[in-house]
Structure 1
């Protein structure tokens, strides 16, 4: 019977292979032209030629990072507020606020934001920010309200202030659960960010849209391939970090 370590090693090899393949494709896309040529019409380019795939990927990741960072700050702050005695009454209001992003689809948010902020990255950041609030808030809330009572009682018994308990006990113990919400938010944002190119944001959606407009299947596959591999690699990396933090929390 195959050992779990063999599966783990195989999974690691596959992830490293996917990462190397992605890097080679981004830096030397011309190497893959013979594979993609059969997917395009005669004389049509097989490799996206309206910009650098590498820099579009960097800009795509930057947009996701900025939106997720802002969503994490707001969502975790709200979760901390409503888990304090003085802020418990704001829980229903906080839930309503973080649900806004799920109530309005990203396309609708873009349509509302463009008249105010113009075309470009800003409407996309707003849409991703709103869409990413809910999973981070709910996981932060779960993490902060499911701490071991014995640990909290011991912290109070040592004379820790509420601020000290939050920074030294609550947040470190809740971090693996919070990170799960961040992971979900990042994966959602990676795919959702592609629609930002409809309002002139520099994302990998630019490649997909160009393919759809010119009936170029190779372009569509390139954009989709990069986004999919990024989502899998980032998901796995954050999941590994969650397991590591959870293991330390139980030591």
Structure 2
């Protein structure tokens, strides 16, 4: 994903916030996209609350995927768990094998309509990038640092918590960033199974042939993805800089 120039990030954030809190201010810009009698601004709910619910769904799914993926990466990089690497790779690839729409179709009969099927789809879809990056981060650590930690008498648990994970964190965060950006876009399909996401705005626009609604939903998701991508990327650089100090 292309990053925004630093000078544009704050203006984009402020415009996005203004649109979510006061969408009526932007009605003149959207009016040419709709027929005379059609509303130019989404009027079937609060864009602000839909955005918060969208972000909450992505956050919950990403946190769950991070815990599972990083735990698996730690397991298979230990001597006792190395034999489980092929199995772990097969497990985290499930989300990439089944499209999110297929996961939703399978989950709805079990969990019903709403947020749960969407969380499951996003969780499965987000596992792979986090796992692979965590695996890379934990297996490419400087051998001299690990040997020095052993020589200092640190236990395996101490090495993991105090040396390995802090050094691997920037690479792990890259996987989390990729997972978040994917989930932000993918979460929109959750509205097809009655989850409260920004997909509701896009679907409403498609159903009523209202281009302004479709544009609003799409642009909000795109702006969120770019802003969060850039924020996490800046955090990665900061952590990487500290790791090399």
TM-score of the pair, normalised by structure 2: 0.98
Aligned to 2:86: 92
Matched, 1:134 2:134: no
Matched, 1:121 2:115: yes
Aligned to 1:168: 162
Across the aligned residues of Structure 1 and Structure 2, the Cα RMSD in angstroms comes to 1.0
Aligned to 2:189: 195
Rounded Cα–Cα distance in structure 2 between residues aligned with 1:229 and 1:32: 16
Matched, 1:103 2:88: no
Matched, 1:245 2:231: no
Rounded Cα–Cα distance in structure 1 between residues aligned with 2:134 and 2:6: 29
Aligned length: 243
Aligned to 2:212: 218
Aligned to 1:75: 69
1:42 offset after TM fit, Å?
1.6
TM-score of the pair, normalised by structure 1: 0.96
1:46 offset after TM fit, Å?
0.3
Q: Structure 2: which 5+ runs fail to align? A: none
1:154 to 148, 151, 171: 148
Rounded Cα–Cα distance in structure 2 between residues aligned with 1:20 and 1:165: 43
Question: Cα deviations across residues 86-110 of structure 1 (Å, max 9, x unaligned)?
Answer: 0000000000000000000000000
Q: Which runs of 4+ in 1 moved over 3 A?
A: none
1:56 to 19, 29, 50: 50
Q: Structure 1: which 5+ runs fail to align? A: 1-7
